[in-house]
Structure formats: structure tokens, C-alpha cells
Amino acid sequence: MEDTITLAMIVKNEAGNLKRCLDSVSGQVDEIVIVDTGSTDETLEIARRYTDKIYHFPWGGDFSAARNFAIEKAGGEWIISLDADEELVSGTGDLKRLVARDKHLEAYLLPLNNPTAGSPGEYNRFLVLRLFRNNGRYRFRGKIHEQVTVSEKGVVGIAEGPVISHKMLPARERNRKRGRNLALLKKAFSDDPQNYFLQYYIGVEWLMLGKPERALPHFQQAYRNLTDENLLFRGPALRYLIICLKELGRLDEAICLCLEADLKYPEYTDVYYLCGVLFEEKKEFQLAIKWLNQAVKCGTPPAIYSHMNGAGSFLAFYHLGYCHEMLGQAEVAENYYQQALDTNPGYIYPIYNLFLIMLAKRGPRLTLEYFKKKGYLGHIDLALAAAGLFFNWGYPELARRCLGHYETSGKRAKEFYFYLGKYNIYSGKLKQGLDYLKQVSEESSFFIQSQILRAVALLLQGRFEKVRSLALELWKNHAARRRALVLLSLARLVEKGGTLSFPQKVRDIDLLETALEILDQCSRYLPDEDRARKDPRLNRLINGLEALIKNNSPRGHLALIEHYRDKSYSARSFFDYKYGFGGNRV
């Protein structure tokens, strides 16, 4: 058989990722070789379900040594190298067809998507050399951020697919790996101080750890010393250098760099996008619009450039909308926000700005109809965001309607139970709200919040003993004890009136924040008029919360004043937004 392909991997404690990775190569490779460097979880058990070619390699702090050991065990004519937290994206290309396409090529650069946020479509795209012939000529080099190098000209192809997708790890795990990488990179750099690829990688680790001041000199060195023969690295070094300067507030320096790059790399979309954002930060909105429009005109740049997905589309549309909004051009802004959402509904931020424009222009009910007509409520994250906006602006019934058509099943069922419970309760549908909240299990991250909501509903129903029982159950959870104490106190105040303060030893910020949070949400309680007239407990609940806050400590009085001052400011800001100082803006 010609053009056989081996997947060669090194793994350690990857039980949470390995199955997904191996499933993604099904039908794409002929052989799987897995080299384990010391797993203590179920990694090997999972690996055995896919291959019997499993080997052990003692970890010595050298990634290349482990990867090259895996290559030595490979029997395929081609090798593809993946990490366990990566996968081939289905439908983006076929490895077999790719390697059969051109017999003269020795290796391929494949696109790799590295997510930058939790929402779909937000990722950086790089080209990585991961597919190469198994002819003994190609090996990994470098103890960390190891690479396969091909010195011969004209034998490396650039493939549009299959695309490799890197899984976004939890923040704690990401930071742990970055700390490990930094230690290895510093050691490697001390041995080879003229290696500007290492400078680039050190800069990346510092920037991703939120230390742009530490990253900046490394990107400066990498960008200054790498040539366009290494554009795969010089391009992202330029982009990250601009981002570092922006994060450090050195906006004019970053803009000068963009002006230079515009002349040298006129096809590099990301430069125009970033420069637009820089001018936006300087509140020079007309200039920002000019650069952002050029980013849209460029679209996706040639594959050789590292690219922030959306820089020429939905991200640029969002910032164009914001700039026009700041210039008082609400209708133009509305159009750009719509384009951003239409291009990538998973990027939810434009809906916040669009909501304010529509609320000022049409009012709350027509805004909801507008969102329905545009299909925004058909996307889960947009529906949740819209519901949250309606609730925060005092329309709990409209918030409930945003979610009413969703089935409460699947992986996000508990989340929907929580929000449907919340919005039903604050729109006066107490029984329905309680029924939803009962479905939120104790294991859910929404459980404690759901119990507080249940208590509010029970207080409004006058079921004080039930509130006390619920609060005593919460007391068993150490993290929820302050909240339980607030609920017990509220039950007494709403039932019997009077005054109540906490003992000095339990007066703390947690109590204050819990009471303020409940007060803030109760101020959005908006049942129908008939129910409101029959609901005297609401005033007692709000009065009880205010009493708890004021009696908590002298700080409580100030916090309560600040709470109502913020509400007044929000109302005044929206009035100014809608009417301006010289007439209607929209």
C-alpha cells in the first residue's frame, strides 16, 4: 500500500483528551504509535483501545528526544504529529488525498487553530509543519517548542487542510504548562542566546501569562532579527509586539509600528485591524474606521501570515459598529453590529451594543420582536445574553420569553433550569420558577444561587418555615454559610418585622454583598399589576434587606447609598444615550 500514514504521539496523563484526539484521525491514518513518558492516570488504558504500538520513554525534559523515539517506531511512509489536546477538524481535508497529490513534496505545513476565548470562531491560526515523509531525513530539534526543519527548497507544501484544532485548557492548567515551558525555554536560551525563535516563544509564554512588560523585549528581538524567510515567526512576532505595546499603553509606538508594517506587509489584515483598535482606544474614531475598513477589504490574509480569525470580518465589524456609535451614527452602527452577529453568532458582544440601540429606538417589546425576527434567539449563547440584558434593564418577563422555546435538556440543562427559574420568579410566576429551580442539582455550579432564588420566591409566598429549612441546609455547605445567615435573617424580618443586626463577629463583606445582590435583583421584580397589588411581602422583603445592609456596619450605609446612586446613574446615562443633550440620537 502506498502513502501509508502513521500518527506519532507522546503523552503523559492525557486521559481527558486522548480519546477525542484519536477519534479525530479515524480513517485518516494507517497506524498509531503512542509513546508514554510517565502517565499515572488512565491514559494507557485509553490508548490500548486504539493501538498495540505503545512504548515507554523516560522523561528527561527533552520533547524532541521523546518525539524522535516515536518516529523511530513508526512504520508508515508519512508521519503526522499531534498532541493529545489537539484534533483534526472533521470535514476540513483528507490526509490520504493530500499526501498523494504531489510526489515531489517532502512535508506539509498544516493550519492550526489555537483558541483565544471560549466563544466559537475566536482563535489564532498558524501554519505548523506536522506532516512529513518517514525517510530518516526529518527529526525534531529543540528541547522545548520543538520543530521539524526541512532545509531543501521547494519541497514543503502549504495545505488548506485538514485543520488541526488545539483544545483550550482551563486557566489553571494553561498557566501550569506555561510555567513549565518558561523554565525549559530559559534553560535552552541560556545555552543558545542567539536563537531568536526561542526569544519569540519566551515572549509568547510571558504574554499569555499576562506579563506584556516581560514579553516585550523578547518580541522586539525576534521581530528585529528574524527575516522574511522566517515569516511564519516574524509575522506573529509583529502582531504580538503591537499587542504588547497596546497593553502597556504605548499606543503611539504601536501605531508607528503599524504604519511601517502597512508598507512592508500590505496583505496582512491583522495589522490594519490592530491599528484600527489602537485609534479607537485613542478615541480617534474616524481614523479607526479607515483602518478597520481596510481590514475588512483585505479579508483573510495569505496563509503564510499568522492570523487572528475575525480580524477581517466579525471583529472588525464589531469595532466599526462601536466607532460609528461613538460618533452618534446609530443606524450605521446597528448595521455593523448585525453584520458581526450574522458572520459569527457565537461572538456575542455586539448584541450588548445592539440591545441599547434597539431599546432606545424601539422600546423593550419591539426589541424582543426584532431579536426574534433576526434569528438571534435561535443561538443559545445569544439567547442567554439577550435574556440577561432584558432582566438587568428591568424586564424579567421579556427575559423569560427569550428562553421559553428552548428544551431543558442536554449538557446545559441545569443552566437553563436556573435562568428560567430566575426569570419566572421575578416576573411573578413563583410556582413555575420554583419548579425549574428544583431541577438544579447540588453538583451544579448554579446550585447555591438557585437556593437563594428559591428562598426569595418562598419569602414572597409567605412560606417562612420552608425558607428556614432551606437556609439550614445551605448552612451545611461551608462556602454558603454567610448566604444562609442572610436568608435566616430575612425570614424573620419579613415574617415579624422589627430590626435585626448581625453579631459583630459575623459582620463582613460577604454578608453585605449577598444582601446587596438580593436587593438588586428584587428591585427587578415585575409581576402583572393584579399580582403586584396583592403582594405586600415584596415591600417587607426590600425593607428587610435595606435594614440588614444598614445594620451590618457603617460601611453598610455607604454601600446602600452607592447602590441607589448607581441605579440613578444608569437611568440618567440611558436617558442621555437616547436623547443626548440636544435631541433624539436615534
* pLDDT tens figures, 287-344: 999 999 999 999 999 999 999 999 999 999 999 999 999 999 999 999 999 999 999 9
| Coil vs helix vs strand at 385 | helix
Give the C-alpha distances (Å, rounded to integers) separating 292 from 69, 277, 280, 316, 474: 48, 8, 10, 6, 51
Which residue pairs from 193-197 have beta carbons closer than 8 angstroms and sit at least 24 positions apart in sequence? 196/221, 196/222, 196/225, 196/226, 196/233, 197/142, 197/145, 197/147, 197/222, 197/226, 197/230, 197/233
Annotated domain spans of the chain:
5-166, 171-316, 407-576
Whether 171-316 and 407-576 share one fold: the answer is yes
Name which of 53-57, 101-105, 161-165, 574-578 the model is least confident about. 574-578
376 vs 575, higher pLDDT: 376
pLDDT higher than 90, residue 563? no
pTM for this model (two decimals): 0.89
Give the closest residue to 79 by CA, choosing from 14, 22, 29. Answer: 29
CA quadruple 379, 380, 382, 384: dihedral sign: positive
Kindly report, residue by residue over 125-156, the tens digit of the pLDDT: 999 999 999 999 999 998 888 899 898 999 99
Q: What is the pLDDT of residue 582?
A: 34
| Coil vs helix vs strand at 467 | helix
C-alpha grid cell, residue 76: 508508515
Classify domain 5-166 by CATH architecture. Answer: Alpha-Beta Complex (3.90)
Kindly report, residue by residue over 78-94, the tens digit of the pLDDT: 999 999 999 999 999 99
**Chain position carrying cell 477525542:** 20
Kindly report, residue by residue over 341-360, the tens digit of the pLDDT: 999 999 999 999 999 999 99
Assess contact for 131 and 80: CB atoms under 8 A. yes
Kindly report, residue by residue over 196-237, the tens digit of the pLDDT: 999 999 999 999 999 999 999 999 999 999 999 999 999 999
Q: Cis link prior to 364 (omega < 30° from 0)?
A: no
pLDDT higher than 60, residue 505? no
C-alpha grid cell, residue 559: 454601600
Assess contact for 62 and 128: CB atoms under 8 A. no
10 Å CB burial of residue 582 (0-12, 13-18, 19+) is exposed
Q: What is the pLDDT of residue 409?
A: 60
171-316 in CATH: which number?
A: 1.25.40.10
Q: Which residues contact 464 (CB under 8 A, 6 or more apart)?
A: 458, 491, 494, 495
pLDDT higher than 60, residue 378? yes
pLDDT higher than 60, residue 116? yes
Pairing between strand 78-81 and 54-56?
unpaired
CATH 2.60.120 fits 407-576, yes or no: no
Q: What is the pLDDT of residue 584?
A: 41
Phi, psi of 419, deg, nearest 5: -70, -35
157 vs 483, higher pLDDT: 157
Assess contact for 423 and 399: CB atoms under 8 A. yes
Q: What is the pLDDT of residue 502?
A: 56
